[in-house]
Structure 1
Amino acid sequence: MLQLEVLGARHGDCLILAWGAAERPRRILVDGGPPGVYRRHLRPRLREIAAAEGGAGPVVFELAMVSHVDQDHIMGLLELTGEMIGAAGRARAPARILRFWHNSFADITGGVEPAALAGLAAAAAAGAATGGAAAGGGVPPAGLDGSDGRAAAILAGIGQGRQLRDNLIALGLDGNRPFGETLVLQGKAASLPEGMELAVIGPDRERLAELQRRWNPALSPAEIAAMTDTSIANLSSMVVLARCAGKSILLTGDARGDHIMEWLEAAGVLPAGGRCDLDVLKVPHHGSDRNVTRGFFERVRAETYVFCGDGRHDNPEPATLAMLRAARTGAGARTGAGAEAACTVVLSNAVTMAHGGKQGDFEREIAALAAAGARVETRDAGSHAITVTLAD
């Protein structure tokens, strides 16, 4: 069997890939969502899995990975690993993880973290002392940067990445096995039991060098906020191609579409000037139209497109859905693909746009996709996940 579970991670990502024997499959955990997702969906789903498999022990993950240090990807894994540490020698842990991939910000930048991180830590400590919302690293302290929380969110993610690194050390999961204490980068690969092959498509050394050139530890919070739209953390987002049972799943984190295509070409997956066909594409950055183009969807095609988002920050963007529809219905002449509208679009949540005017646009684009032949599936509000089955 081969299945991808897409959890209700609100505006973030949280995925469980399962393969092998149906009665006790192997699993990979990809990202953990923003604050609240662990307790609302991930931990309850782990309990469901354990109960279905006899309740004899924690859920075993062959691998867990965090694509990059953004709050909406890392927080659930920080909470999970913290609970695993707290459970050591006492109550049964919710999970057992055999390998963990994490490129911490300090590792990416050669040990250099932002000086402004100290301000966030001080604000969080003050919140903890007074019982405020900042305690525990959940919501970034308001007013840290005067820039609608963007720098605070980045700094919080960097701080949480550092805490996750410390948790992994405590659990003996540091080192990015089997890569020998080095970053998870383009060109690396790993074989897991029962035929799961993982190829790291990105990031590449050039993108990380670019981030290092641009990063200055003395940047002010306002300067950090100004860099958010150029993807300061997303430059380091892992992109992994999973292959098993003759199927392919591309896990993209928040990487940019142009970078993804460049990396796929370098890996020999995407022919120069041509297209590749996948079984599942996790659409990058929650369906933001800043990360993809119509050309991306023309060249990187899939049977199933997974969108992780709930409308916050207007993601999935109606414009992204329009690009996908145009690529499936009208781009064939340029790529030799023909008009192939039939596909499946999977939504991790019911979508309510943060800006009311976008809601109607989103609903019209979903209806247009369906009219063009796409099947649209949305996670049921009463379920922790929606499942994409690739092989029984």
Structure 2
Amino acid sequence: MFRIDVLGSRHGDCLIIHYGTSIPPKRILVDGGPHKVYRPFLRPHLRNLKETEGLNKPVEFELAMVSHIDQDHIIGLIELTDEMIEEEDSTRDPARIKRFWHNSFSDLTGGTSPAALTATVDAIVASANVAGTPPFQELANSDGRATEILASVNQGRKLRDNLIRLGLDGNRPFNNALVLSGKSAELPGNMNLTVIGPDKERLEKLQKEWNPALDPSEIAAITDNSVSNLASIVVLAEHDGKKLLLTGDARGDDIVEWLEELGLKEKNKPFPVDALKVPHHGSNNNVDPAYFRAVPAKTYIYCGDGGHDNPEPETLKMMREARQGDNYRVILSSFVEMEHSAKQPEFEAELKKLASAGIEVDARDPDDLFISVDM
């Protein structure tokens, strides 16, 4: 058994991987989505699993991980661990987690002290909220998420504090070290995990650049352009001869480079996988046609509901043109309603072109908690 439950996660990510024997299987939890994902989707799904499998204990996860600190990945995990702390040693405990992977912002930036980090983030957010503040105009125009990303720094620290309370800190089995490219772990049930990214060189550069004494606009640029993208944990999960590539919000060209550096992919040759979680909710800023040719998948998983206009119609077009003549399927975590209505016809036109090419496209029914993908 090797199955992925793609939960309703609004504009974020939330996946549960089931593997091994069917009852009860081993499980991995990847990300928890933004606000309004844990209570409407993740928590009821955990309760349903417990009832369906007749468990007299909370649902167990061999591993939970947050790919990075953006609010659209981390909030649900904060809410889950809050409840685990509240209900610890109770039959109402929503889940039991054996290991947790989380690269906190302070660890990524060289151990910035909580006091210095809080003061810096508060100053940046305050500056970003001042209308017409010139240093943030470029960020607002290019991405529009600078304030959200900066707020996620504090959320990342909150999650780290929860993990310490639960005895889940330390990134086991990596002995309190960052989860970095080249590391690997074997979970019970014959699940092999290889960390593809982030790589040490990029994070060393980030640590060198980061300095709480910098001007707020300089720190905001580092935070927006580096932490949210470069620091995404990218993992290749292998079980029963199948491969799943989990990408967070990493850049496609980085992923390809890391696969080659690790010797998993030969240069100029494709690295086929059975399923691929498309990076950054299908943003066209993270992928190009070369990426889809380099890492062809039998199944593409798009997590997004149209927030920030993701999945982008341009991304679907790149995938379709790069994989022309190939057979694959597309899974959507939600019905997609573009933030900017002008994008909606483009998106729907791309779906029609995929259907015309014989590509199966499945989306989670709005009344369902999740859509399942069998590997």
Shared fold (TM-score, shorter chain, > 0.5): yes
Q: Deviations over 1:68-116 (max 9, x none)?
A: 1110001101110111001124452100000000110111111126957
Q: State yes or no: 1:244 paired with 2:221.
A: no
Q: What TM-score does the superposition give when structure 2 sets the normalisation length?
A: 0.92
Equivalent in the alignment of 1:135: none
Partner residue in 2 for 1:44:
44
Contact 2:292 2:319 in 1 (8 A): yes
Name the counterpart of 2:263: 268
Q: Which residue of 2 aligns with 1:232?
A: 227
Q: Matched residues in 1 for 2:85 and 2:96: separation?
A: 11
Aligned-pair CA distance for 1:220: 5.0
User: 331, 346, 352: which is aligned to 1:361?
Assistant: 346
SS of the residue 1:356 aligns to = coil
Counting matched residue pairs gives: 364
Conserved? CA contact 1:117–1:155, under 8 Å: no
Superposition CA RMSD, Å: 2.1
Unpaired segments of 5 or more residues in structure 1? 124-139, 330-338
Quick check: 1:192 aligned with 2:187?
yes
Change (3 A) 1:141 1:316: farther
Cα distance change, pair 142–71 in 1 and its aligned pair in 2 (3 A):
farther
Alignment match, 2:272: 277
CA apart distance, 1:317:
0.5
Equivalent residues in 2 for 1:86-125, closer than 5 Å: 86-90=86-90, 92-112=92-112, 115=116, 117-118=118-119
Taking only the aligned residue pairs, the percentage that are identical comes to 57
Q: Which amino acid aligns with 2:155?
A: Q
What is the CA-CA distance between 1:278 and the residue it aligns to?
A: 0.4
Q: 1-side partners of 2:39 and 2:212: how far apart? A: 34
Q: In the superposition, relative to structure 1, how do residues 189 and 5 fare at CA in structure 2: closer, same or farther (>3 Å)?
A: same
Whether 1:319 and 2:320 are equivalent positions in the alignment is no
Q: TM-score, normalised by structure 1?
A: 0.88
Q: Which stretches in structure 2 are left out of the alignment for 5+ residues?
A: none
> What SS does the aligned partner of 1:319 have?
helix
Matching residue's letter, 2:160: R
| Distance in 2 (alpha carbons) for counterparts of 1:154 and 1:239 | 19
Code of the residue aligned with 2:26 in structure 1: it is R
Amino acid of the structure 1 residue aligned with 2:118 = L
Change beyond 3 A, Cα 1:263–1:122:
closer
Measure how far apart 1:161 and its partner are: 0.7
Which residue, 169, 172, 175 being the options, matches 1:174? 169
Paired residue type of 2:337: T
Distance 1:228 1:314, change over 3 A: farther
Q: CA deviation at 1:194?
A: 1.6
**CA distance in 1: counterparts of 2:224 and 2:94, whole angstroms:** 36
Aligned to 1:62: 62
Cα pair 1:150 1:225 within 8 Å, conserved: no
Amino acid at match of 1:193: P
Deviations 1:232-269 (A, max 9, x none): 32211000000001100000000001100001112222
Give the drift of 1:210: 2.4
Question: 1:171 & 1:254 partners in 2: Cα distance?
Answer: 27
